[in-house]
Structure 1
Amino acid sequence: MREVAALPTRRDEAWRYADIEALERLGVDALDVWKEVTLAPGETRSHCMVVGSDAPELHRVRLTIGEGARAEMFTVIAGSDYCRVEVEVRLAKGAHFEFGGVTIGGGDAVREFVTHTVHAEPEATSNQVVRAVHWDQGSGNFLGAIDVVRDAQKTDAAQDFKGLLLNKGASANAVPQLEIFADDVKCAHGATVGQLDEMARYYMAARGIPPHTAKKLLVRAFIADAFVAIGDEAEQERLLEAALDVLGDTL
């Protein structure tokens, strides 16, 4: 008999903060839709996108990076309903994966990035920077798993997550998972969650900067870290503005 597919539950580690009701609206067939991307040895490819809307979205990407190749992915999740961007990465020798992501919004929506990075061969590197800005009962999540196989010596992998909550009802969650079997590696993860710097707001107000403008500048500086590695200034500005547009009159 054909096995009947089922939706995940919050008991599944990779879905522990997901909006299961939103997944039900998407339907189980959405879980089978993956975008497969393969980079040839030595190839460099960069992709920037803005996702999220007033309906649930699920974006799943499988990325295979060839020897000495470089893949860059930069994403803003800015919708008013559940949105999940999930990326599975496999790196060959000397390959590099660069990821920058921003989740931003209010309401009661869950917005999340989930990455699984496999360092399958020696001397590969990866860097992931995620920023979350939320208010009302909005939630921003980053679940990032890194696997380093036994022969993947000289691996250098880093993840950096920071959450900015604009009121007490909002939340941000970071779940790092490291599974390392090689002994000559560098793997690091940092995660912090906080509020706007009140001292910075005070100094900006003292210099005549209106409160709304000051807050927007602080948020811009906070999320800009996720897009530092974008080589195209126009694309960098496009993503920043897409994120800041969501703020509206919130600040």
Structure 2
Amino acid sequence: MAEGATLTLPTRRDEAWRYADMDGVARLGVEALDVWQAIDVPAGESVTRCMIVGSEAPELHRFRVTLDEGARAAFFVTNAGQDYTRVEVEVRLAKGAHFEFGGVTIGGGDATREFVTQVTHAEPDATSNQTVRAVHWNTGTGNFLGEIKVARDAQKTDATQDFKGLLLEAGASANAVPQLEIFADDVKCAHGATVGELDESARYYMMARGLDPATVQRLLVQAFIGDAFVSLADEAEHERLLDAALGALEGARL
């Protein structure tokens, strides 16, 4: 924070906090908003972060990532907090760099779990891909606010966002706010967002073949969230993140 500047809590008028749990933000405290982890990836190198976040108290995880020419960074996150839990990533891509984000928000109760990303394509030939899955029940909420910025000189940019929400009960909600700010003309930028319920025909088919309801639900949820971690080559980390997500289903009364 710049010397002499005063931090204040955000409000829902701030687009990046539009769907946040403002009571949870207040309990985090204003000082938490000034805590960022800087990750600088030199040219040609790569960094992968695999995270399981969430507890019984509010959590805020903020990252500022700078990718030099040809560098790569990947974040894979399971967000299963029982209280307000937010992961925020700001990324700047140089020429030929790549950013990958795969995230799952999952849980019940009345908690809000969210991902907020801002990906700036500052130079040509960079790529980014973001895949987010949200699975919620009771009155739980899953949010994804993803902004892609393409600078005027960032020709040949290829950037995608894909969000899908799965609501297991009527009181749950999922929100997606994809934003594109494009100043270059030779780019590929795409985003998609859908929210739905479990496939009842698939559920019936599996139960008719002797699977119990809990097993059927787990298998269908596993198939749904799998896309978020498909780019994670480390099998042990892939299993750890997936198990943490599916573990949130245990004991849920659905």
TM-score, with length taken from structure 2: 0.97
Name the structure 2 match of 1:50: 52
SS in 2 for 1:201: helix
Name the structure 1 match of 2:216: 214
Per-residue Cα deviation, 1:135-166 (whole angstroms, up to 9, x for no partner): 00100000000000000000000000000000
* Distance in 1, Cα, partners of 2:185 & 2:202: 43
Any unmatched runs of 5+ in structure 1? Answer: none
SS in 2 for 1:224: helix
* Distance in 1, Cα, partners of 2:60 & 2:212: 38
* Distance in 2, Cα, partners of 1:68 & 1:167: 44
Superposed, 1:60-209 pairs within 5 Å as 60-209=62-211
SS in 1 for 2:246: helix
Per-residue Cα deviation, 1:150-204 (whole angstroms, up to 9, x for no partner): 0000000000000000000000000011000000000000000000000000110
SS in 2 for 1:209: coil
* Distance in 1, Cα, partners of 2:86 & 2:4: 28
* Distance in 2, Cα, partners of 1:109 & 1:122: 40
Amino acid at match of 1:78: A
Amino acid at match of 1:32: D
Any unmatched runs of 5+ in structure 2? Answer: none
Runs of 4+ in 1 over 6 A off after TM superposition: none
* Distance in 2, Cα, partners of 1:183 & 1:68: 22
Amino acid at match of 2:199: D
SS in 2 for 1:97: strand
Q: Give the superposition deviation at 1:4.
A: 3.2
* Distance in 2, Cα, partners of 1:42 & 1:215: 42
Amino acid at match of 1:183: D
SS in 2 for 1:53: coil
After superposition, the CA RMSD in angstroms is 1.0
Q: Give the superposition deviation at 1:3.
A: 4.4
Amino acid at match of 1:34: W
* Distance in 2, Cα, partners of 1:153 & 1:128: 20
Q: Give the superposition deviation at 1:13.
A: 0.5
Name the structure 2 match of 1:244: 246
Q: Give the superposition deviation at 1:210.
A: 1.1
